[in-house]
Structure 1
Amino acid sequence: MKVEFAPLSIPWSRRAQTAAVSLWVFFYLALAQCCCGIFIILLLGDYWFISVFYVFWLYLDWETPQTGGRRSEWVRNCSVWKYFKEYFPIKLIKTSDLNPTRNYLFGFHPHGILVAGAFGNFCTEYTGFKELFPGMTSYLHILSTWFIFPFVRECIMYTGVVSASKKSVSHVLSNKKGGNIAVIVIGGARETLDARPGSLTLNILNKKGFIKIALEHGAQLVPVFSFGENELFKQIENPKGSRLRALQESLQRLVGFTFPLFHGRGIFQYSFGLIPYRKPINTVVGEPIAVKQNPNPTLEEIDQLHEKYLLELQKLFDKNKEKYGIPEHKSLTFD
Structure 2
Amino acid sequence: MKVEFAPLNVPVRRRLQTAATLQWVFSFLALAQCCLAAFVLLALSDWWIVALLYAGWLWLDWDTPTCGGRRSQWVRSWGIWEFFRDYFPLTLIKTVDLDPKKNYIFGFHPHGVPVAVLTCLALPVCPSGVLVAGAFGNFCTEATGFSRLFPGLRSHLLMLPFWFRVPLFRDYIMYGGLVSSSKSSLSHLVSRPSGGNVAVIAVGGAPEALDARPGALTLQVLNRKGFIKLALKHGAQLVPVFSFGENELFDQMENPSGSPLRKLQNRLQSIMGVAMPLFHARGVFQYSFGLMPYRKPIHTVVGKPIPVVQTPSPSCEDIECLHQRYLQNLTELFEQHKHNYGLEEQQHLTFI
TM-score by length of 2: 0.93
Select 1:184's aligned residue among 195, 201, 226. Answer: 201
- The 5 Å alignment of 1:247-262 reads 247-262=264-279
Select 1:126's aligned residue among 105, 128, 143. Answer: 143
* C-alpha distance in structure 1 between counterparts of 2:162 and 2:270, whole Å: 14
Find the counterpart in structure 2 of residue 225 from structure 1: 242
CA displacement at 1:137 relative to structure 2: 1.0
- The 5 Å alignment of 1:13-92 reads 13-92=13-92
CA displacement at 1:210 relative to structure 2: 0.3
Q: Please say which of residues 53-62 and 161-170 is displaced more in the overlay.
A: 53-62
* C-alpha distance in structure 2 between counterparts of 1:76 and 1:306, whole Å: 32
Tell me the SS of whatever aligns to 1:314.
helix
Find the counterpart in structure 1 of residue 304 from structure 2: 287
Give the residue type in structure 2 aligned to 1:105: I
Give the residue type in structure 2 aligned to 1:108: F
**Residue 103 (str. 1) matches residue 103 (str. 2):** yes
- The 5 Å alignment of 1:260-279 reads 260-279=277-296
**1:261-305, Cα deviation, whole Å (9 max, x unpaired):** 001100011000100000000000011111000010011110111
CA displacement at 1:167 relative to structure 2: 0.8
How many residue pairs end up in the alignment? 335
Q: Please say which of residues 47-56 and 176-185 is displaced more in the overlay.
A: 47-56
Change in CA separation of 1:292 and 1:245 when aligned onto 2, cut-off 3 Å: same
Cα root mean square deviation, aligned: 1.0
* C-alpha distance in structure 2 between counterparts of 1:66 and 1:119, whole Å: 19
CA displacement at 1:125 relative to structure 2: 0.6
- The 5 Å alignment of 1:200-219 reads 200-219=217-236
Give the residue type in structure 2 aligned to 1:224: V
* C-alpha distance in structure 2 between counterparts of 1:269 and 1:50, whole Å: 42
CA displacement at 1:154 relative to structure 2: 0.4
CA displacement at 1:191 relative to structure 2: 1.2
Give the residue type in structure 1 aligned to 2:343: I
* C-alpha distance in structure 1 between counterparts of 2:322 and 2:59, whole Å: 39
CA displacement at 1:148 relative to structure 2: 1.2
Tell me the SS of whatever aligns to 1:204.
coil
Tell me the SS of whatever aligns to 2:56.
helix
* C-alpha distance in structure 2 between counterparts of 1:53 and 1:328, whole Å: 60
CA displacement at 1:31 relative to structure 2: 1.1
Give the residue type in structure 1 aligned to 2:156: Y
Q: Please say which of residues 139-148 and 44-53 is displaced more in the overlay.
A: 44-53
Give the residue type in structure 2 aligned to 1:98: L
Tell me the SS of whatever aligns to 2:28.
helix
Tell me the SS of whatever aligns to 1:169.
helix
**Residue 149 (str. 1) matches residue 166 (str. 2):** yes
Select 2:342's aligned residue among 300, 321, 325. Answer: 325
* C-alpha distance in structure 2 between counterparts of 1:121 and 1:205, whole Å: 26
TM-score by length of 1: 0.98
* C-alpha distance in structure 2 between counterparts of 1:38 and 1:44, whole Å: 10
Give the residue type in structure 2 aligned to 1:54: Y
**1:108-166, Cα deviation, whole Å (9 max, x unpaired):** 00111121101000111111111211111111111111111111100100101111111
* C-alpha distance in structure 2 between counterparts of 1:37 and 1:248, whole Å: 29
Give the residue type in structure 2 aligned to 1:250: R
Tell me the SS of whatever aligns to 1:225.
strand
Q: Please say which of residues 30-39 and 141-150 is displaced more in the overlay.
A: 30-39
* C-alpha distance in structure 2 between counterparts of 1:302 and 1:46, whole Å: 57
Select 1:245's aligned residue among 262, 266, 272. Answer: 262
* C-alpha distance in structure 1 between counterparts of 2:232 and 2:193, whole Å: 15
